[in-house]
Chains A and B, each alone.
Chain A
Amino acid sequence: MIKVLFFASLRERLDEESLEMEAEGLADLGVVLMRLRERGGIWSEVFAADQTVMMALNQEMTGADAAVKDGDEVAFFPPVTGG
């Protein structure tokens, strides 16, 4: 299993803080994102190809080509606005 977290406007729009996914068949973060998009409804809007979504793997910012394995913590969020 992998843990998937959502933050800020993504969390609010999805009305979901986190979920778990079977790691099998999830080659990289791009595939995870595609699976989320396939859930339909608001999920397909939030993860539409024209949306700017940032991602992290095990608490490090990365890109869609980052490989995913069992036990990983994945996060999706909008561009950051701290400081």
Chain B
Amino acid sequence: MNEIRIQSEPFDPNIEVDILRAGNPAIGGVVSFIGLMRDINEGETVSTMTLEHYPGMTEKTLQAIVDEANQRWDLLGSRVVHRVGEMKPADPIVLVAVASTHRGEAFQACEFIIDFLKTRAPFWKKESTSEGSRWVDARHSDDDAEARWKL
């Protein structure tokens, strides 16, 4: 029902959503967010990206976020899949998919989970450009997005 996965292999977001909604006719809606790797960041072409994480803490943090979402809203299941290691432009990096009876709860829970994943889950992106490689800086707008939820 609530699956959390960290993996180096690519994944297919459509298959993940199909699995989430399979076999439960009570589900009235699924909202999903798919984060993709962009080929341009801060004006420079990015050829590949490598994602590092903190094994153990990552899973714990995501579990706590999903648990909190389930406390706040009536959900009928969720899936969070996040890639680590090397990836290329247009690859899905992350999927957050949430199922519920009606759309309102699914929309809110999905946004809540991705907002907290962005500011709390220990992942770090490193981009390779023609100028060499660089660690991606955190965005203030992500902190603002998290703050809206007032934990």
Q: Residues of A with Cβ closer than 8 Å to B?
A: 5, 7-9, 56, 59-61, 75, 77-83
Contacts and interface: CB of A to CB of B under 8 A. Distances in A.
B54 A5 contact: yes
Interface in B100-136: 114, 117-126, 135-136
B57 A59 contact: yes
Interface of B (DSSP majority class): mixed
A80 B57 CA distance: 12
A78 B138 contact: yes
A83 B35 contact: yes
B57 A83 contact: no
Contact of B57 (A8, A60, A78, A79): A60
Contacts of B123: 80-83
A80 B35 contact: no
B56 interface: yes
Contacts of B35: 83
A27 B60 CA distance: 25
Most chain A CB neighbours (cut-off 10 Å) among B53, B120, B124: B124
Contacts of B119: 80
A44 B36 CA distance: 37
B54 A56 contact: yes
Contacts of A9: 124, 135
Given A80-B138, A82-B94, A61 B124 contact: no
